[in-house]
Chains A and B, each alone.
Chain A
Amino acid sequence: MIGKALRLAPAVILIAAFSWAAISVAVRSVAEAPPDVKVIRIGHWQLEGGVRDGFNQMGAEFAALPEVIKKYGKVRIVQDAIPEGIYGQWISTQMIAATAPDIVEVGLGLPGPIWLAYQSRYFYPLTDMANAPNPFNAGTDLAGMALKDTMGDGMRSGYQEELQEYTRVPLARFTSRVFYNRDLLKKLTGLSAPPRDFRSFTAVCEQISKAHDPTGQPYVPIASSKYHVGMWIGNLFDPLTYSAVFKADFNRDGFVGNDETFAAIRSGALSFDSKLVRAKYDGLKQMVRYFQAGFTGLTRDEAVFLFAQQRAVFICTGTWDAGSLIQQAEGKFTVGATIYPQPAQNDPEYGSLVFGPNFDPAGQGFPFGITRFSKHPGLARDFLLYLASRAGNARLNQIIGWIPATLGAPLPPLLAGFEPVNTGMYTALNTDLGGQTVVKSQQLVSLLQTDPSYKVDQFLTEFGQFYRSQGVADWEEAQRDWRRAITNNERSLAVMRGEALLRAADKPSDVSWIRYRDYLSHRQLFQDLGHVRQVRMVVNPDATVRAPYAYSPEALARIKADLSHSSATTGPTP
């Protein structure tokens, strides 16, 4: 009897397991989307506990609002929190399969041109929403103001130049700083604060790297990871390429786009051998010597723990991590914060590339767009508006511990003093062409960081050759994506021209005609001219095709003078 029971046991267990699984799946399917509930999905890569809590709470509060219940009935907000490492691939598949969530965080895991193409194809333009008042600001001094005017940056970070549309609503603001263990710094170097210039900072790191803890292990000057190294590059080394603006900003919009960078390099206006390109990678190579071994194989939390364990003196991170960092140090040591150590203007190597302090790339972040796959786009828009309202944005960021994006929303107390530096040098070299050049760049920059025998010269030669030759295909793809957006222009122009014809067909001085001509020249003709110029520079690099005009010496002098007069603010130590 027992023997028979034992023999049957595996089969019974299998049947029981299958029954349990089938019932669980069925119950979940029914519970997931009851027919009378409207579900809004929100996809993002923010795996901080606070963000998920924030969305859950805000979702519940939004669903309980009387006006929402009246307008939409029962509403549920569901989130898909995807790890950074697979976000790009995940978003690609969701977009192509038309299963993307209603609201999606934009910007990570895919090359810029791919995101651009996705926004063009798969996202609703939000321009009308940006230009209309946010109803959830009713009763405040923001009532009646266009949504974009209620945001800290005028919603500039939600505007997609190439599409000439607002496509995203930013929900938070970020700055990044270098944090340090005050006690350990004092103990190892005698300093109470780290130096603010690159040369002295690396000297201090060198000093730290020679010190050993009581167990004989050497201290790590800077705790880092694959995640953190991007911040060092963006905040410290990228701005060294600022002077590329003087040579490669062909359309004079103040930025050197990836297309302009490519055209400049193909035509020889810039080269991978130039001082500014070399400085970026050379500085990086010098700095990574002070990171712990194998940092590119580490994740963000592993670097934070190295710092929390007092094995490392410095770590860079953003306001999004400040709270957890200080919390982990509580009772063990004091945390200080400082700006990124920029090279001094008299630095023998990099001084000639420094024109002033570094601009804090503290634009609005946490940007969300609404996909065309949303079954309830109106509801999705309302939820996004709720999150962008002063009260909603303050509450969301209070829960998460970030800086709100909406004007007048109070800062969480912990982050007071992380005000950004608004004037200074910024990144001007953008080799991110999308496609294979991005993959190659990631691979080789990673190699440059980790392999001591792989020199900057080798990198510049190898990547330079690849970029110049293989980049053409990626550049062409990006240009094709750009061309697709031109139809938006043409639609707008047709409407404006029609309006002008109806209003004042024979009065060229009428404001409607002026607006039409202005739009036509700025949005269509100049863009096309720029495009044609770039095509000629790329297709025939030897031809002497240049920008239509150059900065006058006076203008250049004024820009440099403005920069050198501006001063950096560091933000008080938390």
Chain B
Amino acid sequence: MTPKRIAAKDLKHHWQIYLFALPAVLFIGLFQYYPATSNIYHSFFRWNGADISDWVGFENYKLLIANADFWRSFRVALLLGLWNVVKMIPAVVVAICIHRCTSERMQWFYRVMFVAPMVVPGLVVVLIWRSFFFEATAGYLNHFLMSTGLFNVLVWGDKFLGLGGIFQAGQKPAWLGDGRLLLVACVVWGFPWVGSFAVLTHLAKLQNIPKHLYEAAALDGVTWWSKFSKLELPLMAGSINIVLVFVIIDTIKDAGMILALAGMEGGPGGVVTVPALFMLRKAFIEQQMGAACAVGIVLTVTVMGLKKLLDAVGRWEELSGGARWRLRFMGIGLAGLVYTFLQSPALAIIILAALVPWFRWIDQILDLFRGQPKPVKPGEKTESLWNRIGAALLTTTRHGFIWLVLAAAYLPMYLMLVVSLKNNTQFYDAPAAISAPFHWENWATAMQKVLPALSNSVFVASCSTMLTLLLALGAAYFFARVRVPGTAFLWNALLVLMMMPTIANLVPLFRLLTDLSLVNTLTALILVGAAGGQTFAIFVLRDFVADLPQDLFEAAEIDGASHLRQMFTVVLPLSGSILGVIGVMHAIGQWNDFVLPLIIIRDEVRLPVMVQLLRMAGEYIKLWGPLMAGYALASLPVILLFIASMKLFSRGLTEGAVKE
């Protein structure tokens, strides 16, 4: 549907249309644009957030450019980002394995099974990995390495590659205590890295492949690899691109998980300091709010640049030959910059490697072995031995692979539940073993501690989600239905916002909340959460509303329906699934957020559940049983919400909630 153009002279008859966008614009203006502007302004001041505010010009930027730690933080973020791209592979493989299951029941079963462990809040997973897997003397990662003999391989590899004794015989590696291993720990945590959002998005895309295409491919003798590379991958490319953009940008702008894993210092030597953590330290430890604002600006510019680049790469197939070469040259330039400024040859090599068309080359190599596919004659065996082995292996290992991934994914949940029924003595004797007597009272203790925080989180997530949907629907209607003076400006302003990391504006946002007397209130979390969720929601909903049949609106207009009536009678009834998807995604995001509440909420009675867990984990003498029961209680609502809305989610995704 093309938006109806309304000229300026006709505005007097249609001025009400602005009211649809006004609340969202005000919200975004106050909680997104004002902090961003204030960020730019304060980045030119030596500002302590309170009574000192001296104009220093570009001094903060000059100091940043000269600060080796700042550049190192970008190197760490880029490295983590690249690893996170690698960590996307299991989700793709799992999605394909599930999709290729012939039994629909098994497909459904696997989906449900995968959702539960994957929506356990990231903070809970980090804390479990911290306590159970990375601990040097009794952690399961070291147990695993020792018992499988892999540790000896690592020791040999250390000697062979001259790693400087990271792995030494008889000495258990200290994953979080050794600066040389901390980055590895930041990569490893969360294994097997199968995010529910990624799997469901990929699956939704795969479901769009008509069955007859597979049948035709089988008749044409297409191999398992070609099915993947020629059929599935191109169709998944959109969803992979979306997940890729989310992953890289999230890594660069995120500090929460690193904070939980390595602390405010970023571990020994600050080896895992990422830009956002660098900024938080500048602001809230060093009291250099002006410098922190400058970091925020650099972070925003970087994220915007990256987003542009990734968008261009995502539209690779649509690009002309010249544009592709220009991008390649930009990539080479970027690699040069990374090598020069970040002093990271490894990163530069990875960037250069990313410019190579691997899939085309693999296909070309495989083509050498398989020759041209021939039409199948009745009774004829079409596949070469090579292909038959590949297909057989795929069939037999498909379920095995899924079960293996499931086992690894459920391990943290298993530990959480088993330990939640132990007292400390039982826990230290054998943490992973089920041991009697069961201490059910741990759950009662956890309830006492976590229940108020749970109610806060439910309240905040619900209110913020409702507000987001309400405002975004109006704004989406405005952008999809009409083109009035100012539409383009507002839309472009939204586009910019899509690329602006909220955390970069944290310091001015905090000041704003202080000035509005909203610090230490749930209202602040609701308002900021709703403002943050607007952009994504408006984008998705605008496309959805624009795709609705024009006839419906015309019929409504002929019947004399106002815009408000059209929105409630035409748009709303048709957008249940899409609103469901946006709502669930927003609610889960709000539930898992802990950086903002950590900073602005003071009183225990107002803490959302994630911050409460962080505080419980910080107790001197941990009571492991109640702590784990608390983790489980904090995860339960999200798991239930996701399972309950899975069908809706899949339908929403298929309907285009997430468009490439």
A residues apposed to B, CB below 8 Å: 9-10, 13-14, 17-18, 20-22, 24-25, 28, 32, 41, 47-49, 78, 80-86, 88-90, 92-99, 101, 109-111, 114, 117, 121, 218, 220, 292-302, 304-306, 309, 311, 324, 434-436, 438-440, 442-444, 446-447, 449-454, 473, 480
B177 within 8 A of A: yes
One of A9, A98, A294, A444 near B177 (C-beta < 8 A)? A294
Q: Which residues of B contact A294 (CB under 8 A)?
A: 135-137, 172-178
List residues of B (421-472) whose CB comes within 8 Å of A's CBs: 428, 451-452, 454-459, 462
Q: Which residue of B lies closest to A96 (CB)?
A: B49
How far is it, in angstroms, between the C-alpha of A480 and the C-alpha of B48 when the chains are bound? 12
B171 within 8 A of A: yes
Least Cβ–Cβ distance between B454 and chain A, in angstroms: 8
Q: Which residues of A contact B600 (CB under 8 A)?
A: 93, 97
CB-based contact B137/A439 at 8 Å: no
The 8 closest A-B pairs by CB, nearest first: A83-B618, A294-B174, A297-B176, A294-B177, A294-B136, A447-B269, A297-B177, A21-B458
CB-based contact B269/A86 at 8 Å: no
- How many B residues face the partner with a CB closer than 8 A? 77
CB-based contact B458/A80 at 8 Å: no
B288 within 8 A of A: yes
B399 within 8 A of A: no
One of A20, A298, A443 near B135 (C-beta < 8 A)? A298
13 new A-B contacts at CB < 8 Å, known A83-B617, A294-B175: A13-B644, A80-B602, A81-B604, A293-B137, A294-B136, A301-B621, A301-B622, A302-B135, A306-B137, A435-B288, A439-B285, A446-B269, A480-B52
- Give the number of residue pairs across the A-B interface with Cβ within 8 Å: 211
Q: Which residues of A contact B281 (CB under 8 A)?
A: 439
How far is it, in angstroms, between the C-alpha of A534 and the C-alpha of B285 when the chains are bound? 26
Q: Which residues of B contact A454 (CB under 8 A)?
A: 269
How far is it, in angstroms, between the C-alpha of A13 and the C-alpha of B604 when the chains are bound? 26
B228 within 8 A of A: no
B498 within 8 A of A: no
How far is it, in angstroms, between the C-alpha of A90 and the C-alpha of B520 when the chains are bound? 12
Q: Which residues of A contact B173 (CB under 8 A)?
A: 293-294
Q: Which residues of B contact A443 (CB under 8 A)?
A: 265-266, 268-270
How far is it, in angstroms, between the C-alpha of A25 and the C-alpha of B604 when the chains are bound? 12
How far is it, in angstroms, between the C-alpha of A48 and the C-alpha of B513 when the chains are bound? 33
A-B contact pairs, 7 of them (CB 8 A): A21-B454, A21-B459, A41-B603, A90-B602, A99-B519, A114-B286, A438-B285
Q: Which residues of A contact B599 (CB under 8 A)?
A: 89, 93
One of B286, B520, B614 near A86 (C-beta < 8 A)? B614
Q: Which residues of B contact A78 (CB under 8 A)?
A: 603
Query: What 0/1 pattern do residues 133 to 166 of B give for CB contact below 8 A with A?
Result: 0111100000000000000000000000000110
CB-based contact A47/B618 at 8 Å: yes
CB-based contact B618/A86 at 8 Å: yes
B559 within 8 A of A: no
Q: Which residue of B lies closest to A449 (CB)?
A: B268
How far is it, in angstroms, between the C-alpha of A482 and the C-alpha of B325 when the chains are bound? 59
Q: Which residues of B contact A305 (CB under 8 A)?
A: 428
B111 within 8 A of A: no
Q: Which residue of B lies closest to A321 (CB)?
A: B620
Least Cβ–Cβ distance between B634 and chain A, in angstroms: 14
B122 within 8 A of A: no
CB-based contact B135/A450 at 8 Å: no
CB-based contact A85/B263 at 8 Å: yes
CB-based contact B455/A21 at 8 Å: yes
Q: Which residues of B contact A450 (CB under 8 A)?
A: 174, 177-179, 268
Q: Contacts A93-B599, A293-B136, A293-B174: A439 and B265 contacting too (C-beta < 8 A)?
A: yes
How far is it, in angstroms, between the C-alpha of A76 and the C-alpha of B424 when the chains are bound? 34
Q: Contacts A99-B519, A294-B136: A439 and B270 contacting too (C-beta < 8 A)?
A: yes
How far is it, in angstroms, between the C-alpha of A98 and the C-alpha of B518 when the chains are bound? 11
CB-based contact A21/B462 at 8 Å: yes
How far is it, in angstroms, between the C-alpha of A311 and the C-alpha of B51 when the chains are bound? 52
One of B165, B287, B428, B605 near A114 (C-beta < 8 A)? B287
Query: What 0/1 pattern do residues 344 to 382 of B give for CB contact below 8 A with A?
Result: 000000000000000000000000000000000000000
CB-based contact B286/A435 at 8 Å: yes
B324 within 8 A of A: no
How far is it, in angstroms, between the C-alpha of A25 and the C-alpha of B608 when the chains are bound? 11
CB-based contact A452/B458 at 8 Å: no
B40 within 8 A of A: no
CB-based contact B458/A442 at 8 Å: no
Q: Which residues of A contact B136 (CB under 8 A)?
A: 292-294, 297-298
How far is it, in angstroms, between the C-alpha of A388 and the C-alpha of B513 when the chains are bound? 36
One of A21, A92, A98, A300 near B284 (C-beta < 8 A)? A92
One of B165, B520, B617, B620 near A453 (C-beta < 8 A)? B165
Q: Which residues of B contact A299 (CB under 8 A)?
A: 620, 622
B267 within 8 A of A: yes
Q: Contacts A47-B618, A80-B603, A451-B179: A25 and B456 contacting too (C-beta < 8 A)?
A: yes
Q: Which residue of A lies closest to B180 (CB)?
A: A451
Least Cβ–Cβ distance between A521 and chain B, in angstroms: 30
CB-based contact A83/B510 at 8 Å: no
Q: Which residue of B lies closest to A117 (CB)?
A: B287
How far is it, in angstroms, between the C-alpha of A473 and the C-alpha of B59 when the chains are bound? 12
Least Cβ–Cβ distance between B235 and chain A, in angstroms: 30
How far is it, in angstroms, between the C-alpha of A95 and the C-alpha of B49 when the chains are bound? 10
How far is it, in angstroms, between the C-alpha of A13 and the C-alpha of B280 when the chains are bound? 38
CB-based contact A47/B137 at 8 Å: no
Query: What 0/1 pattern do residues 27 to 61 of B give for CB contact below 8 A with A?
Result: 00000000000000000000011111000000000
How far is it, in angstroms, between the C-alpha of A86 and the C-alpha of B617 when the chains are bound? 12
Least Cβ–Cβ distance between B379 and chain A, in angstroms: 47
How far is it, in angstroms, between the C-alpha of A395 and the C-alpha of B83 when the chains are bound? 55
Q: Contacts A89-B284, A99-B519: A311 and B455 contacting too (C-beta < 8 A)?
A: no
Q: Which residues of B contact A9 (CB under 8 A)?
A: 644
One of A17, A32, A110, A293 near B458 (C-beta < 8 A)? A17
CB-based contact A293/B171 at 8 Å: yes
Q: Which residues of B contact A298 (CB under 8 A)?
A: 135-136, 177
How far is it, in angstroms, between the C-alpha of A13 and the C-alpha of B170 when the chains are bound? 54
CB-based contact A47/B268 at 8 Å: no
How far is it, in angstroms, between the C-alpha of A227 and the C-alpha of B604 when the chains are bound? 25
How far is it, in angstroms, between the C-alpha of A517 and the C-alpha of B603 when the chains are bound? 49
CB-based contact B614/A83 at 8 Å: yes
B659 within 8 A of A: no
CB-based contact B620/A297 at 8 Å: no
CB-based contact B286/A439 at 8 Å: yes
Least Cβ–Cβ distance between B517 and chain A, in angstroms: 9
CB-based contact A80/B510 at 8 Å: no
